Amino acid sequence: MSRTTTLRVGAVMGGFLIAMLMVMGVSRALFTNPTSNDANSWSSGNVILVNEAAPVDGGSPTFDETGSALFSATDMVPGDSSTVCFEVIYEGSVDADILLDSVTIAGVNENSIGAELNLTIDRHVSATCIDGTPVAVASGTLSAPGIVETAWQPATPGVDESRYYEITVTLDAGAPNTVQDSTVDDVEFEWLATNN
């Protein structure tokens, strides 16, 4: 037998063997048994802050989620102060850091009176804002509030938890005559909850 014939026979036999193995592989039955885990879903938690303010003079609390005014002081003279006790309530379902994020003058600031309105904010655990260990939140002016608050966290996410903020604004005793008959308005105190 010539070498060419041997190669042809070998190629035919090899092809036949490959075809036979393919047929056997396809026709061979296999046992299978799948397992699955169905109905998976995901949802996000939330961070919700609301507020409630009660005037210092003991008036009825007012509930507010829209940000209505805490102060509306008029005819202030040097040394006059306004104070409110303000409740911030965390109603979120996840762990969060909560703190005073900003004090912003969005309206007019005639004659820079915001720099003459001293601002002090303290955080309390008592609804009356009278307890022995307030935490300093801000100390400065409306124009430069000097926020120093360390964030607080709810003890149990999903269970409402409050902190009480005492906000005092005082027209500086040394305010210059240039701020007479001046207005600062649309001042926003903004608390922020950030999940952690």
Q: Note the pLDDT of residue 73.
A: 85
Report yes or no on 29 lying in a domain: no
Number of domains in the chain: 1
d(CA 43, CA 93): 11
d(CA 86, CA 88): 7
Report yes or no on 164 lying in a domain: yes
Q: What percent of the chain has pLDDT over 70?
A: 73
Residue 154 neighbours by CB under 8 Å, 6+ apart: 90, 92, 95, 96, 98, 161
Report yes or no on 89 lying in a domain: yes
Report yes or no on 11 lying in a domain: no
d(CA 69, CA 67): 7
Report yes or no on 107 lying in a domain: yes
Q: Residues 125, 134: contact at Cβ < 8 Å?
A: no
- Give the phi and the psi of residue 15 in degrees, each rounded to 5: -65, -40
* pLDDT 10s digits, 124-137: 988 888 877 899 99
Report yes or no on 63 lying in a domain: yes
Mean pLDDT calculated for residue range 65-92: 83
Report yes or no on 167 lying in a domain: yes
* pLDDT 10s digits, 26-38: 556 677 777 778 7
Domain extent for 110: 49-195
Q: Note the pLDDT of residue 53.
A: 58
* pTM for the model: 0.73
Q: What percent of the chain has pLDDT over 90?
A: 32
* pLDDT 10s digits, 108-159: 888 899 999 999 999 998 888 887 789 999 999 999 999 999 999 999 988 9
Q: Note the pLDDT of residue 98.
A: 92
